[in-house]
Structure formats: C-alpha cells, structure tokens
Amino acid sequence: MNTDQHIPFMQQALHQAKLAARDGELPFGAVVVKDNQVISVGRCREAKRKTVLAHAEAEAIDKACRTLGTNKLTDCIIYCTNEPCPMCAAAIFQAKVPLVVIGASRADLSFLRPRAIDIQALAEDSGYAITIVRDILKPHVIELFSQR
Ligand SMILES: [Zn+2]
C-alpha cells in the first residue's frame, strides 16, 4: 500500500479520536482493516470505564479478534492515531498484525515522556516481520492535542 491508500483509514481512526475527546477522554483512536474494510474501531475510554486497559488500540484489537473469531490477525492492518503504548503494542504483536500505521509518533508530542522501550523495539522482539509506517495525517493528530 502506498501512503495515499492509508489516508481514508487514518481518517476513520481520527474520527474515533474525536469521539473520545468529545467524551472527555484523551483523543486516541484506532481502527483495524482487513481486505480494505474496517472490521473494528476503538477509542480511549479510560476515564469513563475507570481502567487503564481501555485504550483505543486494545479495544480495536479485541473487537477484531471477536469479529473474525480468531486470535491471529495476520491479514489485518491497524491504524493508530498515535504511536501505541507498550501494552497495546504487545497486544498488536500478540495478534501477529503485520502492518502498523501511525499518525503521530511519541516524540511528536512534547508532553509525553520519552520511553526506552518503544514500539520498534517491541516489534523487533516479536519474532515475526512487522512493518511500521509513521506520519500519516500527523498534523491532524497533533491538532487534536493543541485544542486541549
Ligand atoms: Zn495503549
């Protein structure tokens, strides 16, 4: 897939992030795509659900597994408005997702502290081939945080 093909799916992830913001959550969104179709969506729901597990990517991965009836998402792509945290990255790689498309990386948002273990390190540790694409609609993602 080229960069342009990623844009409509990242726009859907951005929509999820905006829904999260509307609910008073941090503006994080994610969608899982298979065969050019969105099969699941997720957004941050930490404040509402009062659990640290309610991240956008974790929700999207969980729903995708349930929808497809499998714990292996080897034919799927996940679109994340932001670079997934280590917990979500671990879930993504546990599900063997081969392509992760990111809007804004961690270093793009100054209020996030740098981490020694980033998604690239976890990908390399996963034992299978993973492609990480960054900077898809990045200015749109960053804009969500400037409104906060
Ligand atoms: Zn997360």
- How many residues make up the chain in this entry? 148
For residues 46 and 54, is the Cβ–Cβ distance under 8 A?
yes
Tell me, in angstroms, the distance from the centre of ligand 1 to residue 135's CA: 18
For residues 31 and 17, is the Cβ–Cβ distance under 8 A?
no
Mean pLDDT of 66-72: 98
Note the pTM of the prediction, 2 decimals.
0.96
pLDDT in tens, 106-147: 999 888 888 888 899 999 999 999 999 999 999 999 999 986
Tell me, in angstroms, the distance from the centre of ligand 1 to residue 74's CA: 20
Given the residues 25, 57, 59, 83, select the one marked as catalytic.
57
Average pLDDT, the chain: 95
pLDDT at position 95 is: 98
Q: What is the DSSP letter of 116?
A: S
